Copies of this chain bind each other. A is one copy, B any other.
Amino acid sequence: MEEVLIKEDHKYVEVADRIERLIENGALKVGNKLLSVRALSKEQGISVSTAFQAYYQLESKGLIEARPQSGYYVKFSPLHVLDLPKVSSPVNDAVPVSVDEMIDSVYSDLNNEKLIHFSLGVPSISLLPVARLNKSLLHVTRDSKSSCLNYEHVQGNASLRRQIARQAFNWGGTPSEEEVVVTAGCVEALSLCIKAITKPGDAVAIESPTYFAIFQVLESHGLKVVEIPTDPLTGIDLAYLEKAIPRFDVKACLFVTNFNNPLGSCIPDEKKKQLVEMLAKKEIPLIEDDIYGEMYFGKTRPKTCKTYDKKGLVLYCSSFSKTLAPGYRIGWTIPGRFKEKIIQLKRMHTVSTNTLTQAAIAHFLENGRFELHLRHLRKALHTQSLRYIQAVCEYFPEDTRMTRPQGGFALWIEMNPRVDAYKLHKKALKQTIGIAPGQIFSSQARFSNCFRMSYGEPWSDRIEQGIKTLGKLIVQSM
């Protein structure tokens, strides 16, 4: 009896060893799903508990990971880890921002199918519920008396606002549908919120690096930006912000609190609470861009600053552009005490939002399809992120630094200081590869040796070749 036990004991070690070698030699890659415990036991002629022990050993070694309700996956191997990028250290002088022509160069070829679009922070269409959405579309054109040709109410489709309010439950929010204002995507939401709470010449605190549309839209409103140092893991430096507020007479903040773009940093919930409380004391409004919040890879959705907002000072903004339908241009804001002003501004600037796509998304959500879709999308993005990370580790020079996002769509890659990312973008474009150079994520064209790489496109040989080619171009540029 004891011998049998020992044999079985050896057996699980032996099975685990073999799997480990498969991972080492690359036959099993990061993100690959392993057989289920039951299937492994059958295949190897071992008991279920032995199979479980084998996986347990691999898990203890950090080689594989169990994902709830899904099974075992090859984990990102710590042997290959590149260093994290450094915390940004912007030099602040509350300068007026300036728009960059580089953006034109990066995004002029938006719909060119020949390009590998590492530059686009959106999910691949193949990850979206196209057929189901089309069904919703068909349904609402048939169901609506006016086939959705009439103007929608300025504040937005009532059913959609109800669904958005329900969705807020995920992050601990309890808004009523009356508190929600629908917009043409998140950027319009941000633009309206900025307009509602600032006047030209005001200073607004933002992350550094930050999504270019954010400082562009601030510039276009005649505002100054104050860039706050931002940790690749935990987001803005609270202590720095607290000092910057009086120093630069900051009138408002605009932060992407979860999986920010391009860093992927996520402000821990406790820190969010501190941020909200600090700003509440000073009566400073916070525009919170939570467009990536639903794209988390961990077990639970991170909270939002709005979750902790007691004074109605947080203007929450998000959209369906990253989760469901970029081209539908539907976003929203929950702007707290600034709601009436926002509605007034929206009536002036766009009258109302697209009736048809509002109704279609409302129908899709009413039928409970959004949660299921989000689960699939999160899983796919998580796996994709791991494959991309592994390839970057494999093909990029060793002195490369890279973020390890726990959600969202993008990697932020810091190269050798001698490499100019904008020149790299130009070279890569000739090889049909699009990247978003670091310069476009700062109003002062800093981050010249960084770039953002989106992993929204599912893994393929073409993607792998693209990353390999990029690696070679970087080496050539050093």
A: residues with CB less than 8 A from B are: 99, 103-104, 107, 110-111, 122, 125, 128, 130, 133-134, 137-138, 141, 145-154, 184-185, 187-188, 191, 195, 200, 213, 216-217, 220, 222, 321, 325-329, 344-345, 347-357
Contact = CB atoms under 8 A, between A and B. Distances in A.
A137 B142 CA distance: 12
A384 to B, nearest CB: 18
A423 to B, nearest CB: 23
Name the 9 nearest CB pairs between A and B, nearest first: A327-B355, A125-B146, A216-B348, A130-B147, A151-B326, A329-B354, A217-B348, A149-B325, A354-B354
Given A148-B327, A220-B349, 11 more contacts: A110-B153, A130-B146, A137-B137, A149-B327, A151-B327, A187-B349, A217-B348, A220-B348, A327-B355, A327-B356, A356-B356
A133 B149 contact: yes
Contact of A152 (B152, B325, B327, B354): B327
28 contacts: A103-B347, A104-B344, A125-B145, A125-B147, A125-B149, A125-B150, A130-B146, A130-B149, A133-B149, A134-B141, A134-B147, A137-B137, A149-B327, A149-B328, A184-B329, A185-B351, A195-B220, A213-B348, A216-B347, A216-B348, A217-B348, A220-B345, A327-B355, A329-B350, A329-B352, A329-B355, A350-B350, A356-B357
Contacts of A195: 220
Given A213-B351, A350-B329, A351-B185, A344 B99 contact: yes
A185 B354 CA distance: 10
Contacts of A137: 137, 141, 356
Nearest to A137: B141
A153 B111 contact: yes
* SS of A interface (majority): helix
A205 to B, nearest CB: 19
A254 to B, nearest CB: 14
Contact of A149 (B145, B185, B326): B326
B149 A187 contact: no
Contacts of A350: 184-185, 187-188, 191, 329, 350
A188 to B, nearest CB: 5
Contacts of A187: 348-351
A147 B216 CA distance: 30
A328 B354 contact: yes
A458 to B, nearest CB: 14
Contacts of A328: 149, 354-356
Contacts of A349: 187-188, 191, 217, 220
A167 to B, nearest CB: 19
A347 B217 CA distance: 9
Contacts of A154: 107, 110
A148 B329 CA distance: 11
Contacts of A149: 125, 128, 130, 133, 325-328
B357 A354 contact: yes
A327 B146 contact: yes
The residue among A104, A321, A325 with the most chain B CB atoms within 10 A of its own CB is: A325
Residue of A184, A191, A348 contacting most chain B CB atoms (<10 Å): A348
Contacts of A111: 150, 152-153
A33 to B, nearest CB: 27
Contacts of A200: 200, 222
A298 B184 CA distance: 37
A326 to B, nearest CB: 5
Contacts of A213: 347-348, 351
